[in-house]
Amino acid sequence: MAESDLQALQDFFVANPDYFLVVNGMRPRADEARQEFEDCPPPEMPFDEVFVIGFADSAGRLLAMASVISNLLAEHVWHIGLFIVATSLHKSGTAAVLYAGLEAWLKERGA
């Protein structure tokens, strides 16, 4: 995803607030998507790149998202910091399929 996708990501977070309610005790903040793009580990934790990845259907609707950090602390160590699947797809098997694809993508890039 790119910064041009901020509104789509924010809309996804608002439409699927379960993660935020469980973890933060409140709905996503108005700047939640921007924070996802700007959030980085502290300076003493070296890394290469932060990826915000969107999983969309054929109509372009966001079904899931992941936030990934490459080479965190050590080469070949990739960290999935967040993985959210649309609430309507919970218990459908979609999360497992998307996660398997994400793992394959990570391995292709050196994780």
pLDDT for residue 94: 97
Q: Which spans in the chain are helix H?
A: 6-15, 18-24, 32-38, 94-108
Condensed to tens digits (0 to 9), the pLDDT of residues 54-95 reads 999 999 999 999 999 999 999 999 999 999 999 999 999 999
Structural domain including 36 reads: 3-108
Q: What CATH code is carried by the domain that includes residue 94? A: 3.40.630.30
Asked whether the beta carbons of 68 and 81 are under 8 A apart, the reply is: yes
Structurally, how many domains does the chain consist of? Answer: 1
For residue 89, report the phi and psi dihedrals to the nearest 5 degrees.
-100, 0
Distance (Å, rounded) from C-alpha 55 to C-alpha 82? 13
Over residues 4-17, the mean pLDDT reads: 97
Distant-in-sequence contacts of 63-66, Cβ < 8 A, 24+ apart: 63/89, 63/94, 63/98, 64/89, 64/94, 64/95, 64/98, 65/1, 65/9, 65/12, 65/36, 66/102
Over residues 91-109, the mean pLDDT reads: 98
Over residues 43-62, the mean pLDDT reads: 96
